[in-house]
Structure 1
Amino acid sequence: MCAIVGVFGAKKASTVAYYSLFAMQHRGQEATGISVANGENIAVYKKKGMVADVFSQATLDNLEGTCAVGHNRYSTAGSDSAGDSQPVFAKYKLGEISVVHNGNLINKQEVRQELIDKGAIFQTDMDTENIIHLIAKSQEDSLVDRIKDMLTKIEGAYCLAIQSRSKMFVIRDRFGIRPLSLGKFKDGGYMVASETCAFDLVGAKFVRDVKPGEMLTFEEGQEPQSEMVFENVDFHPCAFEYIYFARPDSDIDGKNVYAMRLEMGKALARETPVEIDLVLPVPDSGVAAAKGYADELGVPFEMGIVRNHYVGRTFIEPTQAIRDLKVKMKLSPIKHLIKGKRVAIIDDSLVRGTTSTQIVRMLLDAGAKEVHMRIAAPEIKYPCRYGIDTPTKAELISANYTVEEIREKIGATSLGFLSIEGLTQSLGNERNYSLVSFDGKYFAGGNEDTTGCAGGC
């Protein structure tokens, strides 16, 4: 779920990268970093924390150069130390290199052990460090050929921005699991970012999405050079980008996130209608789906739960104790709207059940007559291997209980999920979406993984 950005040919590339990462803060809050190349060397600055807290104007002024790559970290597993933040930088035979990565390498352990057996020394738990070792140890003569060699040895989900002292290379895996888009500045510079909302903030014009299996090479004085580095492209964009990850104003692979969530809400209403007085969203990612649900049923929609925006997203916090506390800190009901009403509360997904239980209890305490929980996504029954924090089946409530048992556990009057068919119809059946969390069909890397994600990006 990390955010990456790559900027090339911009006068103040570090500032562009900073604002781009700020726009994509929702994709990771644990650490952030930027590296800048000026043709002669690469400078890196990264720390734990959020973008606005980590970078000062003085720091950005010291990162001089026209090429920058940046990263917001959301860890799928492993350490949350500052050492596990990105970009990952190294000096090697051909010079200096810096790498940022969004995704999860499913063969991380096998590759790492092979590298260790050959004498490699690792300093982090990140799968991203595998990438830089593979490039450094390749016997190919040029960096571009070393990158291609590296790509033959890794499997899984990845969007990469790789920076040398004078060039930038951008790659999207052959499945296109994670999003990546190309933008252009009026003065001719270019950027890539995980979400198009970053373009809007820095004044870049969307050009197109990076194709699955494509590598873009950026070099001074030239237009970006495109090369398909995989013969067998099998496009599986992640449905969770539309359900939860992305900002509603972003366009992911040509589809607006808000519009897709609205359609999911309408489909949910058709599949799980209920007699109610009011529809409420769980802010903020449940808003569009709740609007669609209310519109389809012809029931009033109200923002009946107030969110404290100074508290981070509970899903990406690393410990359950912090998640529990932050639900109470983050959400507060408007009792005037809720008292005596039959309400439907719409959320984007249900993972562990902790948040849903507290929200139902909160609404009942506020005087709701009935609380009908509706989830604008299918039941999450399988761990994801491609970069979502659902480590084991034991933590997934839908993997262990029936819908009725979950309803009893969370205390709702009724509970309904969007079907897989309803989801795919909402998104458009013309694509073969990655639905592994819902159907357990692992198209990359073989069979179901019950141990969960092993990567650290």
Structure 2
Amino acid sequence: MLAEIKGLNEECGVFGVWGHEKAAELTYYGLHSLQHRGQEGAGIAVSDQETVNIHKDTGLVAEVFQNGQLKDLKGTAAIGHVRYATAGGGGYENVQPLHFRSQTGSMALAHNGNLVNATALKHQLENQGSIFQTTSDTEVLAHLIKRSGFSTLKDQLKNALSMVKGAYAFLLLTEDSLMVALDPHGLRPLSIGLLGDAYVIASETCALDIVGAKHERDVQPGELLVINNDGITSERFAYNANRAMCSMEYIYFSRPDSNIDGINVHSARKSMGKQLASEAPIEADVVTGVPDSSISAAIGYAEQSQIPYELGLIKNRYVGRTFIQPSQELREQGVKMKLSAVRKIVEGKRVVMVDDSIVRGTTSRRIVNMLREAGATEVHVRISAPPIKNPCFYGIDTSTTEELMASKHSIEEMREIIGADSLYFISEEGLVNAIGRPFENGGQCMACFTGKYPTEIYPDTAHPHEKVTC
């Protein structure tokens, strides 16, 4: 479903280049392909081996760089960032990359994820004299780096990473190196590519494809990469953590043309749809998916059930960012502006509506009503994720249990509230099988469904809406 409408948002996307004369331009195109991961701010930092320069602002990538700013970003190395602002987290100061200057040089930092112990670390650092310029978790890492007693930046970074907990994919750019780190559980995707002799780092493989880079491998959990003019080196800063890739990357966040750990996202979603059809068959005339992320699952459901797939819902792609707003009133209005039912397809038909999740339930109710108003005689809702009952503390905007419909209502109550003739969520076991990543072989984080978090949850994360991720 539409992230900006229904309140389920990935926080950030990161992209980096080392060793290419058009590093800024490549990063621009990479960020553009990652725009779905964050629409509230964008920025690029570039190194020319002597200085680090940066341009960033609130808005979409094309808006931030619409006045020729790329021409001023000269250099052969760059990192970029797109972000989604959580409640209270807007404003220029929180847009990344964050840029820090000191007597030993400059450092730009970009982060995808959320540090669950950021508030505790921030209090500790402030008591030791640190002054924070943003409300971003990311700034905590910079202070930890500068307060480290080690002599090299690599050792300073390793020491800082040993102190932060949660989900993170970090890119750190200095005048003479690009450093890359992924949290010990690998909660966020991060890939390495090659473009000629240049190294490319991206949150998703679709961004590698857009710039013509060849995917080499994924960054491993607990891995630290250092890329400079001597090449690339890899070492571990953490071991022995259970792999826990966020399952919502497969269900919803990542683009269908991306691959995560060798698994194509479209194929995984299609398998989810097939699993849904096996678990919850229904007599119907057409299957339709809620654009865009549910289309693959809807195709899978149609193939397995042998019910025709049709475009029963159409997304209006020309609605501006006016409707990317956190307020419930604008969110509900956004549904009307963003989606419309195709009357000639659904009129007089029994419709299976496939969607990827239900968060608050408001949008699902409106879409079901939309299909009925267009003449559907029955609307059967099938969800390719289990019920979301628990908040996420790792960088997804589901901040409190009270916001989550499934935490307060039974499935039958949810069915009545959204007005569907039937409602079924994929089983947890079915989801694992569809994705193809068994828990025992380095599986995925399903804490929002199960309440079992891969890391310790610190007291300050009980109210994540009070701080800003990324």
* Length-normalised TM-score, structure 1: 0.97
Matched, 1:108 2:121: no
Secondary structure at the aligned position of 2:210 is classed as helix
Residue 182 of structure 1 aligns with an amino acid whose one-letter code is I
Secondary structure at the aligned position of 1:176 is classed as coil
Mapping 1:97-246, distance limit 5 Å: 97-186=107-196, 188-220=197-229, 222-246=230-254
Secondary structure at the aligned position of 2:234 is classed as strand
Secondary structure at the aligned position of 1:224 is classed as strand
Give the stretch that moved more between structures: 173-182 or 71-80: 71-80
Deviations 1:45-73 (A, max 9, x none): 00000001111362001000011000000
Matched, 1:79 2:89: yes
Matched, 1:285 2:293: yes
Matched, 1:432 2:440: no
Cα distance change, pair 360–179 in 1 and its aligned pair in 2 (3 A): same
Cα distance change, pair 450–293 in 1 and its aligned pair in 2 (3 A): farther
Counterpart among 319, 323, 328 of residue 331 in structure 2: 323
CA distance in 1, matches of 2:199, 2:324: 30
CA contact (8 A) 1:333 1:366 kept: yes
Matched, 1:356 2:364: yes
CA contact (8 A) 2:116 2:457 kept: no
Matched, 1:249 2:257: yes
Deviation of 1:316 (Å): 7.0
Q: Residue 451 of structure 1 corresponds to which residue in structure 2? A: 463
Q: Residue 6 of structure 2 corresponds to which residue in structure 1? A: none
Residue 434 of structure 1 aligns with an amino acid whose one-letter code is C
Deviation of 1:278 (Å): 0.5
CA distance in 1, matches of 2:186, 2:398: 20
CA contact (8 A) 1:7 1:67 kept: yes
Q: Residue 352 of structure 2 corresponds to which residue in structure 1? A: 344
Matched, 1:91 2:104: no
Deviation of 1:231 (Å): 2.4
Residue 337 of structure 2 aligns with an amino acid whose one-letter code is M
Count of matched residue positions in the alignment of Structure 1 and Structure 2: 455
Cα distance change, pair 417–395 in 1 and its aligned pair in 2 (3 A): same
Residue 456 of structure 1 aligns with an amino acid whose one-letter code is T
CA contact (8 A) 2:311 2:345 kept: no
Counterpart among 250, 265, 272 of residue 280 in structure 2: 272
The percentage of counterpart residues that share the same residue type is 46
Cα distance change, pair 452–356 in 1 and its aligned pair in 2 (3 A): same
Give the stretch that moved more between structures: 307-316 or 92-101: 307-316
Q: Residue 403 of structure 1 corresponds to which residue in structure 2? A: 411
Secondary structure at the aligned position of 1:226 is classed as strand
CA contact (8 A) 2:268 2:435 kept: yes
Deviation of 1:339 (Å): 0.7
Deviation of 1:313 (Å): 9.0
CA distance in 2, matches of 1:8, 1:401: 50
CA distance in 1, matches of 2:412, 2:235: 51
CA contact (8 A) 1:78 1:456 kept: no
CA distance in 2, matches of 1:93, 1:260: 49
Give the stretch that moved more between structures: 172-181 or 75-84: 75-84
Q: 5+ residue gaps in structure 2?
A: 1-9
Q: 5+ residue gaps in structure 1?
A: none
CA contact (8 A) 1:138 1:150 kept: yes
CA contact (8 A) 1:378 1:418 kept: yes
RMSD value, Cα: 1.6
